[in-house]
Amino acid sequence: MSELLKTQEDFLTNFNWNNYEEGIDAVDAKNLKEFEDLVSKTFIATDQEEVVDGTVVRMTDRDVIVDINAKSEGVISLNEFRYNPNLKVGDKVEVLIDVREDKTGQLVLSHRKARTIKSWDRVINAHDTGEIVNGFVKCRTKGGMIVDVFGIEAFLPGSQIDVKPIRDYDIYVNKTMEFKVVKINHEFKNVVVSHKALIEADIEVQKKEIIGQLQKGQVLEGVVKNITSYGVFIDLGGVDGLIHITDLSWSRINHPSEVLELDQKLNVVILDFDDEKTRIQLGLKQLNAHPWDALSADLKVGDKVKGKVVVIADYGAFIEVAEGVEGLIHVSEMSWSTHLRSAQDFVKVGDVVEAQILTLDREDRKMSLGIKQLTPDPWTDITAKYPVGSRHTGIVRNFTNFGVFVELEEGIDGLVYISDLSWTKKVKHPSEFVNVGDKLEVVVLELDVDGRKLSLGHKQTQANPWDKHEAAFAVGTNHSGTVAEIVDKGATVDFGDDVVAFVPARYLDKEDGKKLKKGDVADFKVIEFNKEFKRVVASHTATYREEEEKQVKAQAEAAASNNSSNSAPTLGDNNDILAGLKAKMEKNEKK
């Protein structure tokens, strides 16, 4: 009995009640502790927001199943892996726990958010350390390009693509390039990258080597980097130099693009540079001999040359007689006319003209030319063509205050003084008499061959009317006229036939004692006539005073005749007659 009880106790003590109740053997406390420690080290806590690594264990048409060592596997939308079409089972991916348990009890992960967090960490680190990163150029945008860097869209300004100006942005699209993170805006989550910064770093090393070897007169190979209106920038392999437009060609050019084009390789010579060698002046034309040095030694003054008009100024035109060799035709050498005009009246840019060499200075590289010398000088036989007294018709070219310049032919101008325009009119300015461009008949008055001057007259083409006026308006003759104007010292009277007389104020009294007014028609007696100065002075009072004197004289003669027939007049009679005449005359004087 005792043995039976002992057996029952052993059974109850040693029976595996845990296996009986739970279906599994009980775990040893020590083993359980080791297991719990292992779980805490390897399994991920799903209540923490951190980026972890996972392994793709399965893929469907819509989702990717990822094992992150959690209590359950997580699911990620396949759309988040569009950038990686080669994703496969077994790949390691970065994930962030988005939802710990959805309505189906599934753990939801996010690869996109994990990439964003990690990418920002990597971008910030690259900016701080200056690390060079790879980026994928996605597309163009205003002012530059959009670049994918670690999954973040960064901006690449157009000025930061290359050290030289970019003309075609599209060639960079869909390319993977190296960049440097140059700016981060944490507030707006903006990233700016630069490819130019990497190039400049390499160039800076080359630049120091090139600058250290620069010498004036040194010939280097370069590439046309940029073309402006004032010159061309040349890339010498990390160092830029400028060829000024005047150093591109010995010939005159309007724009550098006429000589060079972008990306063209060429040899240039170093003309000068500053102390720091940051401004380098280059030359292209200096690689060739100066055209003046190649000018024919036989060319001399008096020779005829042909050339193209390259520049026109008011004072003349520059003619290129050979490449890089120009001569000036002054406007005074374009025509024999002394009436100067603008050079544009004779030639235009691009014209090919023939000219004669007037001066030639090889040392100073200057040449003056003339066109008019190819035609005879019109003054050569001037005395035969325009003798004194000959009549001609010319064209009014210009006038001054003292006269009119009349062109008789190309190169032959004469002056008509204002006093030789009209016999009768008092011309204050030539513009009152003629207009520029009018035809005018003239007579040659004087000829100065040595001084190349002609004195002309227009009024001499007609007879001097004052020759006949001298007889018609002789002193003492009476004429009817109209008072034209009243002036301070008298009045002017129009007698017609372009004859205007002056009447002093004291001779304007009428017989009734009143004054003549403007517009009155009356008789006048000429009291002065001067043909040289075309001056006529008349008097109205003289016309009726003369009549009174005639009447008194007639009365005296009649009285004397009567006395002689009857008896001799006495002294008293004669005195009475003279006293009456004197009183009448004094009365008129008072009036």
Distance CA 204, CA 206 (A): 5
Between CA 575 and CA 583, with CA 580 as vertex, the angle to 5 degrees is: 120
Same domain, 283 and 295: no
Largest distance between two CA atoms of the chain: 238
CATH code for the domain of 140:
2.40.50.140
Same domain, 153 and 185: yes
Give CA 453 to chain center in angstroms: 43
pLDDT of 200 reads 76
Establish if 204 belongs to a structural domain: no
Establish if 184 belongs to a structural domain: yes
Got the DSSP string for 91-123? -EEEEEEEES--TTSPEEEEHHHHHHHHHHHHH
- Three-state SS for 541? helix
Chosen domain end from 373, 396, 420:
373
Distance CA 474, CA 466 (A): 11
The count of domains in the chain is: 8
| Assigned token pair, 140 | 């163009």
Same domain, 414 and 440: yes
Between CA 349 and CA 353, with CA 350 as vertex, the angle to 5 degrees is: 100
Same domain, 362 and 295: yes
Residue 354 half-sphere exposure, CB side, CA atoms within 13 Å? Answer: 6
CB contact at 8 A, 356 and 413: no
Specify the DSSP class assigned to residue 516.
Answer: P
**Shortest CA distance to 404 belongs to which of 378, 382, 435?**
435
Chosen domain end from 175, 199, 223:
199
Rg (CA), the chain: 59
Same domain, 489 and 551: no
Establish if 305 belongs to a structural domain: yes
Same domain, 324 and 360: yes
Distance CA 493, CA 485 (A): 7
Name residues whose C-beta falls within 8 Å of residue 477's C-beta, 6 or more positions apart in sequence: 525, 526
**Shortest CA distance to 75 belongs to which of 99, 51, 107?**
107
- Listed in order, strand segments (DSSP E) in 292-419 are 304-313, 316-322, 325-330, 352-361, 366-370, 391-400, 403-409, 412-417
CB contact at 8 A, 79 and 89: no
pLDDT of 575 reads 47
pLDDT of 204 reads 72
pLDDT of 591 reads 46
Same domain, 470 and 498: yes
Establish if 125 belongs to a structural domain: no
Same domain, 391 and 428: yes
Establish if 124 belongs to a structural domain: no
CB contact at 8 A, 447 and 388: yes
Alpha helices in 276-416 (DSSP H): 382-385
Chosen domain end from 373, 406, 431:
373
Same domain, 387 and 356: no
Same domain, 404 and 414: yes
pLDDT of 512 reads 83
pLDDT of 47 reads 46
β-partners of residue 482 are 494, 521
Expressed as residue numbers, the domain containing 421 is: 382-461
- 36-65: string of b/e by CB count within 10 Å (b at 16+)? eeeeeeeebeeeeeebbebebeebeeebbb
pLDDT of 543 reads 84
**Shortest CA distance to 368 belongs to which of 318, 411, 324?**
318
Distance CA 47, CA 543 (A): 143
Establish if 121 belongs to a structural domain: no
| Assigned token pair, 365 | 């590289």
Phi-psi region of 8 (alpha: psi -120 to 50; beta: other; left: phi over 0): alpha
Establish if 209 belongs to a structural domain: no
Got the DSSP string for 232-293? EEEE-SS-EEEEEGGGT-SS--S-GGGT--TT-EEEEEEEEE-TTS-SEEEESGGGS--GGG
CB contact at 8 A, 535 and 502: yes
pLDDT in tens, the chain (591 residues): 556 656 666 666 666 666 656 555 555 555 555 544 544 444 444 445 577 888 999 899 888 898 887 767 888 888 888 777 888 898 888 888 776 655 555 777 877 787 777 778 888 888 888 888 888 999 988 888 899 888 788 999 888 888 777 778 888 888 888 898 888 888 777 889 988 888 777 777 777 777 777 888 888 899 998 999 999 999 887 788 899 998 998 888 889 998 899 889 999 999 988 766 678 899 998 888 888 887 888 888 988 999 999 888 888 999 988 888 889 999 888 887 766 678 888 888 888 999 999 999 888 888 999 988 888 888 888 888 888 888 998 999 888 888 999 888 887 888 999 888 887 777 888 888 889 888 989 999 988 888 888 899 988 887 777 767 777 788 888 888 989 888 888 998 988 777 888 999 888 888 888 888 888 888 899 888 887 777 889 998 888 886 665 655 555 556 556 555 544 444 444 445 445 555 555 555 554
Establish if 343 belongs to a structural domain: yes
